[in-house]
Amino acid sequence: MNDAISSLSKGKRKIRPIAIFSKRAHVKSEKEYNSIYQRSISSPEKFWEEKASELHWFRKWKRTFKWDKRKAVFSWFDGGKINASCNCLDRHLEKNADKTAIIWQGESEEQVRRLTYGELYRETCRFANVLKKKGVRKGNMVCVYLPMIPEAAIAMLACARIGAIHSVVFAGFSSEALRDRILDSKCKLLITSDGLWRAGKDVPLKDMADIALEGCNCIKHVIVVKHTSQKIKMKGKRDSYWHDEVSSRSIKDICNPAENDAEDPLFILYTSGTTGKPKGVLHTTGGYLAYVNLTFRWIFDHHDTDVYWCTADIGWITGHSYIIYGPLSNAATILMFEGTPTFPDVDRFWKIIEKFKVTVFYTAPTAIRAVAKFGEEPVKRHNLGSLRLLGTVGEPINPKTWLWYYEVVGDRRCPIVDTWWQTETGGILITPLPGASTLKPGSAGKPFPGIEPVVLGEDGKEVKADTGGYLCIRKPWPGMMRTVYGDHQKFIEAYWKRFRGFYFTGDGAKKDAEGDYWLMGRIDDVIKVSGHRIGTAEVESAIVSHEAVAEAAIVPFPHEIKGQALYAFVTLKKGVNGDNSLKEALRAHVGRETGPIAKPDKIQFVEALPKTRSGKIMRRILRLLAEGKKDVGNITTLADPSVVEEIIKGIEK
């Protein structure tokens, strides 16, 4: 038994870097990390200049960093000219044209596709030319509503190539959610597929897009990938098939990359916040690319021979930064998987790792819990000897799940990087570096170079070690979002107002005496369900839009697999009978309005919600009740304290 494991079994729960891993890692020791970190903080501009220089620039920037604190306006590498697709494709052609860029595993086992960098380049150029032919120009918005197929990557890269801005919408979102997002950003063109496979079922994606497009005048063209071959209706001039478009003889194999400004938008991605509708988080080109390029290389310790698999969906930020832009800008071989961890069998992940000799595996705690439930046997059925590094993202990972991942999947050989970040941050901010860091199950470790986190108390002062507080970041870094699309005021209010001059993350955290961070979950009205980010405001407004409902309040409750799930307290309109069939109807209604991931697990009909005298719903109380607590503390501020007793009687088990 080696040292690392013995300290584990003694319950110290500290795992030191593994020597053979450290030896060839990009960052080889804690000492090296410390010195890089110190340098990055004392001269951040110099640090990032050096790192950004590793990318291909048409023209070098004039000013590295500019920040107008009061207006929350900042820029990186201003005046530089760069193209993200060129950095992910063209610059690899000389050495890596024949290297596999994408291995695609379809939901059905026999469906596999491979694209080399040369092929991905050609496909991207051709599709970029199609976009141009359809009238898409620099600065136009293109919506991508696709399953996990290579065309999603090609579509994103093609947009980047011509300077169009992609807005990817998770294919699990409903027509209504898609429509809202298309309208908010006034997309010109939509890329979708006939259908998508979900656990053996052919989901009619194009039909859903058609519904979304009723009332969207901005979309002029729809390009449809034939994927499941389900029957769809094509609308005259508006719709055409991807395959027909790219194979047209008039479409050329070469499309010169646009010389975009470093601060030109690369994409927007909608995410849920505390209030109202989802916000369009806007990321720009040069800083974002420099950030994801470096974080990918160091955190996943990328080497040329790796087969890297991130199980996220392209519809989330993890898919953008650590399936597409980070890995491809490093000429990595990525695996893209269309399916889910437990279909057709609970060993699907392990089967794929064995089949393609995956070396680096990055997934979410919820997925690990979903498979850990079935024990070791499905894992042990497979030879996972190719694995050398594991990662997690999306929600706090509890030490028990961490240890299962470490021992059963990683065979105590593979470091785990528990990576903390957000849609807004563009890339990973707090994480171990696998060759350098001592790992502590449940902690996301230390800040990435260039990042200065602080834990602040209510009063805005830094709290002492081991004390919980609000996690904030001191200064903008290159990969940080620039604004909320179309609403800069919202950007200021949501992120910069709570603690002046600091970026406020919305997470609670504590830092231990050794400088490692322990994330404590969201402290706002965002709930992480299976790692997906859900805003209570959205789900509440979806429920309230049902004719039977008067009012609704959504709170989280702990869930064994999902981490957190949604509990809805609902008051009904006069005369409506709250029975099980209405609960089902409400769930289906939320599914239609938002998407299946937003369906509440529990719904309780109540006579009244606990409110203050001024009419504010006391979510704190509902939260405790949903967690099964009976003692909810002081309720004398409630307009009618008796509602609490009433609710306790009907709590859903």
Interface ranges with ligand WTA (CB under 6 A)? 271, 316-318, 393-396, 418-423, 444, 505-507, 519, 522, 528, 533
The rounded distance, in Å, linking the Cα atoms of 506 and 504 is 6
Between 287 and 506, CB nearer to ligand WTA: 506
Instruction: For ligand WTA, give the closer residue by CB, 263 or 507.
Output: 507
User: How near is the Cβ of 391 to ligand WTA at its closest, in Å?
Assistant: 9
Return the number of the residue (197 or 316) whose C-beta is nearest ligand WTA: 316
- Look up tokens 């009904």; give the residue: 572
| β-pair type (333-337, 307-310) | parallel
Tell me if 537 sits within 8 A of 552, measured CB to CB: no
Which token pair is 522?
A: 């969201």
Which amino acid does the sequence have at 205? L
Q: How far is the CB of 454 from ligand WTA (least distance, A)?
A: 16
Whose Cβ is closer to ligand WTA: residue 120's or residue 299's?
Answer: 299
In the bound state with ligand WTA, the residue whose beta carbon lies nearer, of 185 and 271, is 271
Report, in Å, the least distance between residue 445 CB and ligand WTA: 9
Q: What is the nearest approach in angstroms of ligand WTA to the Cβ of residue 520?
A: 8
The residue among 469, 423, 475, 424 whose CA lies nearest residue 447 is 475
Q: How far is the CB of 624 from ligand WTA (least distance, A)?
A: 20
Distance of CA 591 to CAs 111, 173, 303, 543, Å? 29, 8, 42, 10
Write down the least CB distance from residue 173 to ligand WTA, Å: 14
The rounded distance, in Å, linking the Cα atoms of 626 and 556 is 7
Tell me whether residue 356 or residue 491 sits nearer to ligand WTA (CB atom): 491
- Which CB, 228 or 422, lies closer to ligand WTA? 422
Query: From CA 348, how far away is CA 108, in angstroms rounded?
Result: 11
Alpha carbon of residue 265 to chain centroid: 18
Q: Smallest distance from the beta carbon of 396 to ligand WTA, in angstroms?
A: 4
**Which residue number, 167 or 505, has a Cβ lying nearer to ligand WTA?**
505
Least spacing, CB of residue 401 vs ligand WTA, in Å: 12
SS3 67: strand
Q: Which residues of 415-425 are buried (b: 16+ CB within 10 A; e: fewer)?
A: bbbbbbbbbbb
Shortest gap between Cβ of 506 and ligand WTA (angstroms)? Answer: 6
- Cα angle, residue 205 at apex, residues 135 and 319 outer, rounded to 5°: 75
* 301 neighbors 389 (Cβ within 8 angstroms): yes
Pairing of strands 221-225, 100-105: unpaired
CA distance 9 to 297: 32
Residue number, 210 or 395, with CB nearest to ligand WTA: 395
* Burial tier of 255 (Cβ tally within 10 Å: 0-12, 13-18, 19+): buried
- Measured distance CA(604)–CA(568) in Å, rounded: 6
